[in-house]
Amino acid sequence: MEARNLVKIYREFRLDNVSLSVPKGSIKGVIGPNGAGKTTTIRILMNQIRADGGEVSLFGLAYPGKEKEIKNRVGYVGEEQYFYPNKTVGWTGRFVAQCFKRWDENLFDSLLMRFGISRSKKTKDLSKGVKVKLSFAIALAHHPELLILDEPTSGLDPVIRRELLDLLKESCREEGKSVLISSHITEDLARIADYVTFMHQGRIVLEAEKDDLLANWKRIHYKKGALGDNLVSQLAGVEHHMFGSSGIAKNYQALRDSLADGIAGGDVKVENVTLDDVLITFVKEA
Amino acid sequence: MLGIMKKDAPVYLLMSGFGVFMPALDAFLHGLGANSVVTTGMWTLILVIPAAQCEIVERLTRGYRFLRALPLTAREIVWAKHLWPLTLVSLHALYAGLLFAALAPAEKVRHLSRAYFVLNGNLALLAAAVLLFFVFRFGLSRASMTALIVLFVVGMIALQESVLHLLKSIVAFGTWPVLVVVTSLSFGAYALLAMASTRAFEQREV
């Protein structure tokens, strides 16, 4: 999947030259606060809205001419789940089965069983969590090569979230699917993503391999006077506390030698950051 | 595409059932005179209502958001929505025409009914196509759709007698060549509006 220079202009929001790709067989997480442009980007990728500029190519195919081919190879779970409320889960399954070329009824059945969803229940009687599970079952039952998931775990309890993320990881590992997943629950992405893209105010502010990012970004706690001004100026989001200060080093490997004495003397402590810390740093800087 | 049509089928078939049964009952109870032309023709027009009903459901359930996530093109979705009115309105106009051709005692009534049903069928088709165009172009709200359809039906009911009188005075209208030309134009307009709806739907956010 590749998106180049996507632009979408609304009255109060602008998606600004967003370029995104997902390496085959990997999971890419798109992180950003509400209103960052994650959903707009994903809806452009699903051809649900038209970009004002830029190009989208999935499997080397482009919209609108190849919409059917593309969507037959993509599993999509949106931010909100829309089904015909007076129809049953079974009806919904039969309906979508007619649309997909590679629909696997046995797989759909087994996913429904795994999630404990009854075929005879009307979709309006399903809870939010079960609707998301049904969406996952539909997204997976046609053997997609790419999964595009827009905040799929938002508003779900930790048990369901963990269950869905495990399923996602499992299907990636076993079937080599690629996944693009957006979320503002960074904990979920820290758990499963290989790559992360940070979005803020309609722009991509950072793209990196998750493990590299977490190895390079560190929180540095230091006592007053332990670091020179030159070192402090290289830290982001510096905060002063009663017993010292702390800030984020965006390239810890480059600072490590300079910090070695402070660490040995106990005046400097290094702590791992979370993706939340990275996100908050970008938001504060903006 | 067939899936969407199957989903909408009960709404259309229920109304069509009435459209078949009621004129037949009328013919059985009262025989077919000039007045039956109006009551039978009304059923052809009323077949526009299921189109609005189905769109109200799509609107309430955000159905198009669901459909656009599936491997369906905008053209398939739009044509699935156009095929029911096209098929049922055409079949009903044909059914009404055959009913009168077979059972109406007077040649004058048969001649009149033919023109009247073709005119009503064409009006119903254009009304359905315009309604669907507004739906796909602007995403009409439930209230706007209901208002449009009520206005259309009330307007048509109010005008039926006048149209019948007008037709009676323009007997020449009922010739086969004129009916074929008018129907072809109407089918052409229907297809053009469906294509415009497809284009509008491709551009619109659902």
Beta bridge partners of A220: A247, A270
d(CA A42, CA A71): 13
Give the minimum alpha-carbon distance from B200 to chain A in angstroms, rounded to a whole number. 12
Kindly list the averaged pLDDT for each block of 10 residues, start to end, along chain A of length 286: 94 94 92 92 94 94 92 94 94 96 96 94 94 94 95 85 88 87 89 93 93 93 87 88 89 88 90 91 82
Residues of B in contact with A146 (CB under 8 A): none
Sequence-distant (6+) residues with CB within 8 A of B174 are: B111, B112, B114, B115, B167
Q: Which residue from B3, B7, B206 is facing A48, i.e. has the nearest CB?
A: B206
d(CA B40, CA B172): 22
Q: Which domains does chain A have, with CATH numbers?
A: 2-212 (3.40.50.300), 217-285 (3.30.70)
Number of H helices, E strands in chain A: 11, 13
d(CA B200, CA B138): 8
- DSSP letter for A10, please: -
d(CA B14, CA B20): 10
Does the predicted interface ipTM exceed a cut of 0.90? Answer: no
**Residue A243, pLDDT score:** 82
Q: Say if residues B91 and B36 touch (Cβ distance below 8 Å).
A: no
Could you tell me the residue range of the domain that residue B101 belongs to? 2-203
The residue type found at A153 is T
Domain count within chain B: 1
**Residue B171, pLDDT score:** 61
Q: Find the closest chain B residue to A70 by CA distance.
A: B71
Residues of A in contact with B57 (CB under 8 A): 84
> Cβ–Cβ of A67/B66 closer than 8 Å?
no
Q: B29, B27, B28, B9: which is closest to B17 by C-alpha?
A: B9
Size of interface A-B (CB pairs under 8 A): 58
| Tens of pLDDT, residues B67-98 | 999 999 999 999 999 999 999 999 999 999 99
Q: Find the closest chain A residue to B2 by CA distance.
A: A98
For residue B118, give both structure tokens.
Answer: 């073709």
**CA B31 to chain CA mean position, Å:** 25
Q: What's the half-sphere exposure (Cβ side, CA atoms, 13 Å) at B176? A: 0
Sequence-distant (6+) residues with CB within 8 A of B147 are: none
Q: Answer whether residue B185 shows pLDDT above 70.
A: yes
> Cβ–Cβ of A64/B73 closer than 8 Å?
yes
Find which of B54, B70, B76 to mutate to test the A interface (most A CBs within 10 Å of its CB): B70
Q: A285, A269, A279, A284: which is closest to A214 by C-alpha?
A: A279
Give the minimum alpha-carbon distance from B28 to chain A in angstroms, rounded to a whole number. 38
The SS3 call for residue B189 is: helix
Q: Say if residues A214 and A252 touch (Cβ distance below 8 Å).
A: no
Q: A204, A206, A263, A279: which is closest to A231 by C-alpha?
A: A263
Give the minimum alpha-carbon distance from B87 to chain A in angstroms, rounded to a whole number. 22
